[in-house]
Amino acid sequence: MAFILGVFAVMNLRKPGESANNSRKGIDIAIALDVSKSMLATDLAPNRLERAKQFIGKLMNEMPDDRIALVLFAGKAYLQMPLTVDHGAAQLFVSSASPDAIPQQGTVISDALNMSARAFSATDRKFKSVVLISDGEDHDANAVATAKELAEQGVMINTIGIGSANGATFTDPLTGDEKRDNAGNVVVSKLNEDVLKDIAGKTNGVYVKLENSDEAVAILKGQLSQIERKAFGDMSMMNFRTFYCWFIGLMLVILVVENFISEKKVIVEEKERLRA
């Protein structure tokens, strides 16, 4: 009985108490971050992926009232974190993002856009935006068509281009050498701005080339400010009534009572019962 009560205590059973009457007014943002190996290119120091992480951190700091979801993609897309107002948790997910998170390599932007759309409420036709961060080396011809479909669902897609037109080589984490193609030639990854501009243009979004993070955040923040904001409750500010203390109290009482039960007496009574 004491053990069962201890389990309930650890479960921390609770129910909502008086609300702090806190609500936020914001929008839902799905950040789709390219983690393909080409994002390790060093045409932006220290590399494209690290600069993208710095940009995301600054963006979240500037938009504290918005809910954030995180999608990581390369050859396949995964919803790494659903919509949340907990930007601290979001920062942890962003900081740990790497090419190792996606086993399939490539840059399938259409898959990333579809996965981002699933993070949103299907009933809302506004209040939401996708921020796609990539070098645009897309091997998927469906990216623009997918962007059009999301535009019809009320999603604004803003794209952040990261890299340079001249391109740069990058190190393959598996071999430790420069990435080479099947012919043995060193791979040079170049920023493909055209596809990113096209995606943003189809959804009334904006394309920003990431050079200065502060400037890029300011431009994107101005674009997102055009989206109507909605109010939603902030559960992190709600007061809860907890019951763990009752379970702990009963558990301690039972353990104390157990110490006064004579084990010898119990054994004698059990023997007498068996004889009978």
Handedness of CA 63, 207, 118, 127 (dihedral sign): positive
- Give the start-to-end residue ranges of the domains of the chain: 2-17+241-275, 23-233
Confidence check: pLDDT of 18 > 70: no
Superfamily of domain 23-233: von Willebrand factor, type A domain (3.40.50.410)
- Per residue in 186-245, pLDDT tens? 888 889 899 999 999 999 899 999 999 999 999 999 999 888 776 555 444 456 678 888
Predicted local distance difference test score (pLDDT) of residue 237? 47
Of 127-131, 173-177, 213-217, the poorest mean pLDDT is in 173-177
pLDDT tens track for 41-83: 988 889 999 999 999 999 999 988 889 999 999 989 999 999 9
| pLDDT reading at 165 higher than 80 | yes
In this prediction, residue 78 carries a pLDDT of 94
Question: Residue with structure tokens 């992480």?
Answer: 53
What pLDDT does 177 receive?
80
* 76-90, 108-122, 128-142, 242-256: range with lowest mean pLDDT: 128-142
- What rounded mean pLDDT belongs to the chain? 85
Nearest to 63 by CA among 256, 184, 218, 210: 218
Average pLDDT over residues 172-177: 75
Asked if pLDDT for residue 84 goes beyond 60, the answer is yes
Would you say residue 271 has pLDDT above 80? no
100-122 confidence digits (pLDDT tens): 888 887 778 999 999 999 998 77
* pLDDT score at 168: 86
pLDDT at 82: 92
Q: Is 105 left (phi over 0), alpha (psi -120 to 50) or beta?
A: beta
pLDDT value, residue 86: 87
What is the reported pTM?
A: 0.72
Q: How confident is the model at residue 123 (pLDDT cuts 50, 70, 90)?
A: confident
